Structure 1
Amino acid sequence: MAETPAEAIAHDDVCPICHLLLFDPVRTRCNHILCASCMAQWADTTALSNIIPSRLDLNLSDFSPDYVAAIHAEANCPMCRTLTTASPDTTLKTALAQRYPLTYEERRVEELALRAAVAGSGHGTEGMVILIGNKHRIDRAAENRNTHDWTWFLRCSRPDLIEEVRVSLHDSFRPPQLTLRAPPFEVHRWGWGSFTVKANVVLKEPYSWITDGNSAATRNPVITLDWTLSFEGRGNQGRVRAKVRKILEDPHDDGRASPVAWPHMEADHV
């Protein structure tokens, strides 16, 4: 039986990183095109800030468990070194699959095998989106000064990775410390003044938060998020895009890790 002739791949359809046919192509803001997996690997090693506060422009219903860290994490472009992000180019993806059906299928099989190998190695990077904020309303029927009815919340696209959320309120509340072990991660109270709610978000083993300050080999299961309650209108909320990774514990490590302090989230009206 005669072998199927190899498909000739045009130069513009080759990834500049892996030098193979582009698969799940993403386009950077500086207009360079790479495989999603190549951009993910590059962003994982070159991102200047793995945690990016931003104005909220999505609803919880927009969250996807298939969020790809490389598409949303800022990194220096591997081609021109410009600080950028990348977005899926679905039009090009469809065109490549139609133009090179055999090669694109081979690339799909290769990518699936690669992802399985990375996931099994304990070094796979996954993306997570976190919403933090508070709802608010004025309780005009209150008989004392506690007229602000508020609900602090923390929601994320991967709640299955969260072990617990340790919440610290103002010392005037009883109890001032709470541990939330299952979603929804919310605290509802009445009060008269604003203050900063501190939340330590703890990942399940063997996951670790990826930040600029921690070693790739050291598990860091705890990060700290601060949110100052907003009593403007119906409340405010902010968004964080983060990365997590499976980390194999060092048998000589005592397992304790210092929380990583994240900056206050930028707020936007709900």
Structure 2
Amino acid sequence: MTDSTETTQLEADIPHDDLCPICRHLLHRPVITQCSHTLCEPCMAEWADVSVTSQMTPIPLTSPESADFNMLAISAKCPMCRTLTSAQRSEEVEERVKSRYPEIYAQREEEYTRDESLKDVSIVSLVVYVGNTAKLVEGSGSGERKFYDWEFFVTVSDTSVVNEVEILLHETFKQPRVVKRRAPYTVRREGWGTFTIRANVVLKSGYSWISSDAVDTAYAKRVSLPLEWTLDFEDGGSQARCKLKLKNERRRLRSS
């Protein structure tokens, strides 16, 4: 089997346009961004920074959304120019590099397949829903101070990666800080005024968010993702969806 050192030697004379600007190897499973950069698909998936703000998409409360999505299609900051962009696979570029360098491309594919099963870090996709339901309390009166029975929620497509969700309510509440260590990640209260709720989604050991919005905790880096949601009492409440990415380094931890 040809190792990566020999592959690199074979790639020495390859023109710049056929090399990935991130890994500096022959383009493998190439993608083209909206900002006109061509990269390997794995490089784009790992190094494109995802913003919570750009991903927050309002959807109906009753929408039967799937947790699956194309990771390349989400808006992210390009690893080359930091422009907010997305990417798509380029069959034209792939056929070009395959035909020009069939031996090297075959080696790249072989190395990719092998490394996927052995590598310490993998990229995991996640869908997060945040929102609230609201129901008018009967007999609460009319005018500005109508009381609502509301429930704030954070729903995660894969709860196995979540250590806890810290929910921070308005300071006037008797218990403004609520920590949920298992799903459902919800808080139910009653009141008349709307305000912005902050929720910190904290990952388990071995995972980290691929987002500039992520923050460190006392125990690990980039494991807490702050979300903000302003309560909505109209039409029974509302929600939004975020399509995000995280690194899974648990295999590295197990082997160390």
Give how far 1:175 is off: 4.2
Give how far 1:39 is off: 1.8
Q: CA-to-partner distance for each residue in 1:48-91, whole Å, 9 max, x for gaps?
A: x6444444166562322x763x653522363xx37142333376
What residue in structure 1 maps to residue 136 of structure 2?
138
Letter in 1 for 2:164: E
Change (3 A) 1:152 1:21: same
The count of residues paired between Structure 1 and Structure 2 equals 225
Q: CA-to-partner distance for each residue in 1:181-237, whole Å, 9 max, x for gaps?
A: 22232223332111222222221112233454868x953433332322122333333
TM-score by length of 1: 0.62
- Give me the whole-angstrom Cα distance separating, in 2, the residues matched to 1:129 and 1:172: 31
Change (3 A) 1:157 1:101: farther
What residue in structure 2 maps to residue 40 of structure 1?
45
Question: Contact conserved, 2:58 with 2:239, CA < 8 A, in 1?
Answer: no
- Give me the whole-angstrom Cα distance separating, in 1, the residues matched to 2:28 and 2:202: 37
1:63 matched to 2:78? no
What residue in structure 1 maps to residue 28 of structure 2?
22
Question: Contact conserved, 1:28 with 1:77, CA < 8 A, in 2?
Answer: no
Q: CA-to-partner distance for each residue in 1:116-146, whole Å, 9 max, x for gaps?
A: 343x2xx44434332222223434x234655
What residue in structure 1 maps to residue 77 of structure 2?
75
Question: Contact conserved, 1:135 with 1:150, CA < 8 A, in 2?
Answer: yes
Question: Contact conserved, 2:170 with 2:197, CA < 8 A, in 1?
Answer: yes
What residue in structure 2 maps to residue 260 of structure 1?
none
Q: CA-to-partner distance for each residue in 1:135-175, whole Å, 9 max, x for gaps?
A: 23434x23465532322111233322111112233355554
- Give me the whole-angstrom Cα distance separating, in 1, the residues matched to 2:78 and 2:199: 31
What residue in structure 1 maps to residue 225 of structure 2?
223
SS in 1 for 2:160: helix
Q: Which runs of 5+ in 2 are unaligned?
A: 1-14, 251-256
Change (3 A) 1:76 1:234: same
- Give me the whole-angstrom Cα distance separating, in 1, the residues matched to 2:160 and 2:87: 26
- Give me the whole-angstrom Cα distance separating, in 2, the residues matched to 1:82 and 1:163: 30
Give how far 1:92 is off: 5.5
Question: Contact conserved, 2:58 with 2:240, CA < 8 A, in 1?
Answer: no
- Which structure shows the bigger proportion of residues in helix conformation? 2
Change (3 A) 1:181 1:22: same
- Give me the whole-angstrom Cα distance separating, in 2, the residues matched to 1:55 and 1:242: 10
- Give me the whole-angstrom Cα distance separating, in 2, the residues matched to 1:77 and 1:223: 20
Question: Contact conserved, 1:67 with 1:128, CA < 8 A, in 2?
Answer: no
What residue in structure 1 maps to residue 85 of structure 2?
85
Change (3 A) 1:226 1:55: closer
1:177 matched to 2:177? yes
Question: Contact conserved, 2:232 with 2:238, CA < 8 A, in 1?
Answer: yes
SS in 2 for 1:227: strand
Q: Which runs of 5+ in 1 are unaligned?
A: 1-10, 249-270
RMSD of Structure 2 on Structure 1 (CA): 4.1
What residue in structure 2 maps to residue 129 of structure 1?
127
Change (3 A) 1:112 1:135: farther
Change (3 A) 1:188 1:89: same
- Give me the whole-angstrom Cα distance separating, in 2, the residues matched to 1:38 and 1:209: 16
